[in-house]
Amino acid sequence: MKQFSFLSILILLASSVSSSALAKCDDLLSELSRQTIQENQFNTGRTLGIYKDELSDHFHNFLLNLRGHQVWIDAGAGEAKAVREYHAQVKSEDARAYTLAIGYVAPQSQKYQDFLVQAAKHKKFKYLSGRFLEEIPLKDLPSAALISDVYGPFHYSDRLDVVLEKYLSTLKKGGELYIKTIEGFRILEDSAGNEVSFNDYFSSISGVQAIRLGRSNFRIIKTSDKVTGIRRAQYIGSRGEDLRTRVYRVE
């Protein structure tokens, strides 16, 4: 993250959420999840328009109202197409927020390479690749006003609580986290086997306000520097023969 000159004055919110749950990545991703991510077996070209459709106008308006000193982190960014389109849409460099795209596989397209040439001039774009989100230390992540995860790490990790904890540690008070997953294929259940809704899971966290935007869309506003009550959510297997359905045990 050395390319971000503003990092020297940012204070990371690492102390706002306990880091005790940040175990080694080998414990956080099943072999199937790891292979899916490493081999890029997913949609990597989602546009800013798709983000608006999936995450609602709330996300789009919040993004466009960011100030030049603020930061947007897009986790699971793929080709960083949404980020690139944001840079093209906000013409003024002073008004444009700093952007950090995170993806395991670095983009290779010519359009992305051309964008890098322009981005290098204003130093408001960075792409972190080669590591899973769970492996990236908080010191490498700037404090952010906005974080988006559209079928990203939260969708693939075997420890949803660890991903959420990292997001909320990085997010500034008053900042917003937007998550899009497929709730029908991501099932939470308690120790007795009773299903736990994502809405109940998010709402039980102290220091945030969770708002359901759709069946699988969530807007999470950080209302306090101190966030507690993130319950462990561990992947325990699939339901039946449908390998797409991932079940997590909530403790």
- pLDDT tens, residue by residue, 106-148: 888 888 898 888 888 888 999 998 888 999 999 999 999 999 9
Both structure tokens of 207: 């220091």
| Total-model pTM | 0.81
Q: Picking from 15-19, 28-32, 232-236, which range would have the lowest pLDDT averaged per residue?
A: 15-19
Question: How is the chain split into domains, by residue range?
Answer: 22-184+204-230
CB atoms within 10 A of CB 30: 14
| Mean pLDDT, rounded, of the chain | 83
**Per-residue confidence band for 10, with pLDDT thresholds at 50, 70 and 90:** very low
Mean pLDDT of 79-105: 92
pLDDT in tens, 203-242: 999 999 999 998 789 999 999 999 999 999 999 998 777 7
Q: Does domain 22-184+204-230 have CATH number 3.30.930.10?
A: no
Q: 127 forms bridges with which residues in the sheet?
A: 101
Q: What is the pLDDT of residue 40?
A: 43
Mean pLDDT of 154-164: 93
Q: Is the pLDDT of residue 179 over 60?
A: yes
Q: What is the pLDDT of residue 31?
A: 59
Q: Distances in Å between the alpha carbon of 216 and those of 56, 59, 187, 197, 206? A: 12, 15, 11, 10, 21
80 Rama class: left (phi>0) / alpha (psi -120 to 50) / beta? left
Q: What is the pLDDT of residue 30?
A: 58
Q: Are 148 and 178 in contact (CB under 8 A)?
A: yes
pLDDT in tens, 234-248: 999 987 777 778 899
Q: Is the pLDDT of residue 79 over 50?
A: yes
